[in-house]
Amino acid sequence: MVGQRKWNRRIAAFVFLLPALIGLAAFQLLPMASSVIISFSDWDLLSKWTQIHFIGWDNYADVFKDDKSYTSIKNIFIFLIGYMPFITVLGTFFAVLLNRNIRGIKFYRAAVFVPVITSWVAVSIVWRWLLNGQSGLVNYLLSLVGIQGPIWLQDDFWAMVAIIAVTVWKDIGFVSIILLAGLQDISDDYYEAADLDGASAWRKLWQITIPLLSPTLFFVVTISLINSFQLFDQVLIMTNGGPAGATSTIVEQVYRNAFQFNKMGFAAAQSWVLFVIIFSVTMVMQWLQRRWVVYER
Amino acid sequence: MLKKSGITMLLIIMVFLSACGSNNGNNAESSAPASSSSPSESASASPSESPSASKEPVTIKALMYTPNGGQEETMKAMVDAFQAANTDVTVDVEVVPYADYETKLNTLLASGSAPDIFEVGYENFRKYAEKDLLLDLNPSIEADASFDPGIYKKLAYDAFNYNGKQMGVTESFSDVVLYYNKDLFDAKGLAYPDASWTWKEELEAAQKLTDAKAGVWGTYAPIQFYEFYKTIGQNGGGVWDAGGKPTINSPANVEALQWMIDKASKYKVSPALNDDTFNQPDADLNAFVAGKIAMVRFGIWNFGRFKDAPFKWDIALEPGNTQKAHHFFADGLTASKTTKHADAVWRFLKFYTSDPAAVSKRIEAGWSVPAVADDAVMEAYYKQTPPESKKIVTEALDSLVLPPVGPKPEMWGEFTGAVGEELDKAKFGKSTAQEALDAAQKKVEELLSK
Amino acid sequence: MRGRAWMIKNGMIHLFLLAASVTLLFPFVWMVSGGFKDSLEVVKMPPQLLPSHWNFDNFRQIEQFFPLYRFLLNSVGVAVATTVLQLLVCAMAAYVFAKIAFKGNQAVFMLFLTTMMIPAQVTMVPLFILFAQTNLIDTYAGLILPGIFSAYGIFLLRQNIMTIPNELLEAAFMDGASYYRVFGSVILPLIKPTLAALTIFAFMSSWNSFLWPLIVTNSKELMTLPLGLSKLQGKWSTEWNLLMAGNVISFLPIFGVYLFAQRYFIKGMTMTGIK
């Protein structure tokens, strides 16, 4: 009987997992493995794949010699410096407010998420228009209060500011809703106990909300880091990596090298360097989480 | 070591691939070897085939970008005309916007599913030819008794000749000329620009025409790579020397770049370089229509845009400094080396680029200028006005500069990107003309040494 | 016992949330309004919030540019098929990872997660070769298949299924239910809200996907909306009224799906109990 049940379980596990396993193996792991192989070749994406020619570690050596790779990594870190504080602090603030049981809260919750569901292609075009100097609304509004708006997307400083601001605009809803979910998991008992002790709102925030929200915060930070390192769509449409490489990013370089400069092998090597960066960052986050995060119960 | 293990891995993946597609893998496998052996087959088969009246119906695939943006119907009409005259051939055309064109084409080439025919510009043509991806059309040309290369403008036809092999046919060409607003010239009582003008005359006129208060500028040209290589040509400079060595920071080039910048920053006859307005795409075109620019360099593909402009305008040859120089762009059709239908492909290339039935449709739609030599055909083009002086379009070809593709055609994209970045820096005042070109020279030398 | 302090605080919260909502939603208002303006009004200074008259010319012009309805239909079909299949495949896999212990469970799960860390731009070409070898180019299957398998979806659903008490499942087994029965009549009903959340994500990523449909389709009969809209950009890079009209067309359907699913959505995100 017991043996029968064990077999049933194995068969069930196999049946349930099979579609996902086949799909992930064929459509994700296999292409990933192929890209490792490509990264050791000088494939130009013009000759047929069967004529691929291997050159050892040269592409990886070139990645570390390539100025543009460094620039793009540097830009990502500049992006993170602007983006992460906003997304975490503002996101937490939004989530705390959205957690209130007030009238119209359903509308507010629905509204913050609208930018998240739309495509980067569409919103990038809308923002390119809003930030346009000739007919853009942003500089018009600035001119009403007597400020001469910058050349947003063509200035090597303001272009990055614009990219950060627009990305915060698009992602803040996602972060807030995830954090809201985390907040709703915190039992009211803690707050009631604190109220009995006469704790201030500020103290409650730091002593209860933040520590108990920390697992969700870590999740949000990790996901945001993974996404930030792959920053691409908005850059391609809004600035095309310019001006003079000021908003160039790693994936933008990968795309350019692969499809415009015919250096697929080099692009694959760049991707795997990126993979190592993201993987390390994720591992570090996991490690930090284990050390710092407070778990309920 | 690594090479061997890499190939082993690849083999494993190939086995996996064919296992995955076992249900319809038969199809894939039977067509794959056939395509690799096809060029020789079809090349030898086609001449003997062509005289026979009844041919097996074939479908050829084509990938294009020029019809995107409003001329797909014209292209379809041209293809229909071809199919009416060649009932055995069906042409299946896919149109992809230019921004995504290379991504799509390269992926198709890489996977071995290249279309029979694909469109390329001159600067990319050299890259594909060098990589041996294009069908040599010479056998088809020699076998085709009715074909005479003289029907094309020689220059445009030869642009698609690579090391003696004709590997494509020019379908259309375009150049860039000086547009001017006659009303603004008349208001100041100035003579219109003519072939004798140099930068000096242009500047003098521009200074009189500029009216900062009314927002009217005397002259305008963007500062970017394409404008740069032409402008240095007008000053006797160039990007490469005869031996294919980069000469980007030569004195003539620095002087030309300085002139491009000075028009705005020193003489103030062009919009300020940090003026957002003029850095937006199409801003210059809109400004010309609004009567805010007196002289401007535009491609001839913009004629239609100014048809209803509320002022009189015309075109002239561009003023040069020490000599004249004009842009020349050519788009052509090429065939994939792996096509199985060399004969049908050749018939289509010839028809689409030169047959009066096709060419006249291109002209009627005001699409672009066919590269045919026949004056009767061109007469129809010249007759479409404005501009009055439409023959300037052909005259400009006497002093053309080709895109400076250089010794490594496959690096064109990287090369233009690198120089463009430095020009940006000079434009926004982050570096001087000399510094920018020194930096560009260094970057290009590095690229070539790879 | 609602005092003055409470009123002020409540008012501040409303004020802030309202300001935030306006900032987040305004670009969409501007987009819709721009899509109905004519080419002169759209660049008028000072700008006007709403068009002086709502004209549909922009949409008619787009219609002439590519087969709008065909592309729209393809997009809807592909997105619906992808979403349904993704929900099913992910829920099945998530069930195993959450509740059916087997050797290597954790390792396989981690492997799935690493697929999120490599840019799609570089795996796209090998994937295309695979599809070319299996004759899936220019087919609906070619459009749909790669979107079905989502590590993120499995992750989301696994988190939720883990919170289902084991006792509940044991009780079902006691009643003689099979694993398949438990999945269908216990697990799925319980994770409905999270499935609603995943519906939005799955639909969204299929609806907005551009690069893959670009290379995998050749014939007009199969192309999706983003491909059509990209044709507008090169030609009309500053004709904002037409670009905005295109954006409106692509925004409304996904917005509809969102409105439909969002009732369950917040609840669904909460139930994942992400930690």
* B373 in a structural domain: yes
User: Across residues B154-182, what is the average pLDDT?
Assistant: 92
Q: Are residues B168 and B180 in the same domain?
A: no
Fold adopted by A59-292: MetI-like fold (1.10.3720)
Residues B297 and B444 grouped into a single domain: yes
- Name the closest residue on chain B to residue A67, using Cα atoms: B443
> What is the residue type of B241?
D
Q: Does B269 lie in the same domain as B145?
A: no
Tell whether B128 is covered by a domain. yes
Specify whether B88 is located in the same domain as B193: no
User: pTM higher than 0.80 for the full model?
Assistant: yes
Q: Do A120 and A234 touch, CB atoms closer than 8 A?
A: yes
B187-200 pLDDT, tens digit per residue, is 999 999 999 999 99
Which CATH number does the domain housing residue B86 bear? Answer: 3.40.190.10
Question: Of C13, C96, C274, which has the smallest distance from its Cβ to A178's Cβ?
Answer: C274
Prediction ipTM score: 0.85
Decide if B40 is inside a domain: no
Res. C40: pLDDT tops 90: no
Within-domain flag for B393: no
The answer to whether the beta carbons of residues B167 and B161 sit under 8 Å apart is yes
The per-residue pLDDT for C197 is 83
Domain annotation covers residue B168? yes
Domain count, chain B: 2
List pLDDT tens digits, range C147-163. Answer: 998 888 888 888 888 88
Residues B242, B218 share a domain: yes
Pairwise CA distance, residues C174 & C177, whole Å? 7
Is B35 a member of any domain? no
Q: Are residues B352 and B435 in the same domain?
A: no
Give me the DSSP letters along C221-241.
GG--HHHHHHHHHHHTTT-HH
- For chain B, the first-to-last Cα distance in angstroms comes to 24
Least confident piece of the model among A217-231, B7-21, B436-450, C188-202 = B7-21
Query: Using an 8 Å Cβ cutoff, are A244 and A232 in contact?
Result: no
B324, B341: one domain: no
User: How many CA atoms lie within 13 Å of B116's alpha carbon, on the beta-carbon side?
Assistant: 24
Task: State the residue range of the domain holding B316.
Answer: 175-328+398-449
- pLDDT tens per residue across span B53-80: 457 899 999 999 988 877 888 999 999 9
Domain co-membership, B299 together with B445: yes
Q: Which of B1, B134, B276 to mutate to test the interface with A (most CBs of A within 10 A)?
A: B276
Instruction: Name the E strands within B291-414.
Output: 293-299, 313-316, 326-335, 369-370, 400-401
More confident residue, A70 or B305: A70
Is residue B36 situated within a structural domain? no
At residue C102, does pLDDT exceed 80? no
**Of C17, C151, C258, which has the smallest distance from its Cβ to A117's Cβ?**
C258
Asked whether residue B6 carries a pLDDT value surpassing 50, the answer given is no
Per-residue pLDDT at A196 exceeds 70: yes
All residues of chain C having their beta carbon less than 8 Å from the beta carbon of residue A173 are 24
**In the structure, what pLDDT confidence band is assigned to residue B39 with cuts at 50, 70 and 90?**
very low
pLDDT (average), residues C207-231: 88
Residues B212 and B334 in one domain: no
Each residue's pLDDT tens digit, A127-174: 988 887 666 889 888 888 888 888 788 888 899 999 999 999 999 999
What mean pLDDT value characterizes chain B? 84
Position B3 in a domain: no
C118 pLDDT more than 90? no
If you average pLDDT over residues A181-197, what whole number do you get?
85
Which band of pLDDT confidence, cut at 50, 70 and 90, is reported for residue C238? low
Higher pLDDT among residues C40 and B306, named by residue: B306
User: What confidence tens digit (pLDDT) does each residue in C128-137 have?
Assistant: 989 988 889 8
Indicate whether B281 and B292 sit together in one domain.
Answer: yes
Among residues 60-89 of chain B, which lie with CB inside 8 Å of chain A? none
Query: A185 by DSSP, 3-state: which?
Result: coil
Which pLDDT tens digit goes with each residue over A268-282?
999 999 999 999 998
pLDDT of residue B47: 41
* A90 interface with C at CB cutoff 8 Å: no
Whether chain A has a CB inside 8 Å of the CB on C135: the answer is no
| Mutation choice for C interface testing from A32, A41, A118, A261 by most C CBs within 10 A | A118
> B362-374 pLDDT, tens per residue?
988 878 889 888 8
Task: Tokens for C200, please give them.
Answer: 């939005």
Whether B37 shows a pLDDT value over 80: the answer reads no
Instruction: Give the pLDDT score at A91.
Output: 94
**Are B376 and B425 within one domain?**
no
Average pLDDT of span A4-22:
86
Closest to A31 (Cα-Cα) out of A212, A251, A271: A271
State the pLDDT at residue C68.
87
Quick one: B287 and B347 in the same domain?
no
| pLDDT given for residue A90 in this prediction | 94
What tens digit of pLDDT does each residue of B249-295 get? 999 999 999 999 999 989 999 988 766 567 666 678 888 988 989 99
Closest CA to B281 of C267, C22, C96, A133: A133
Closest chain B residue to the Cα of A59, Cα to Cα? B450
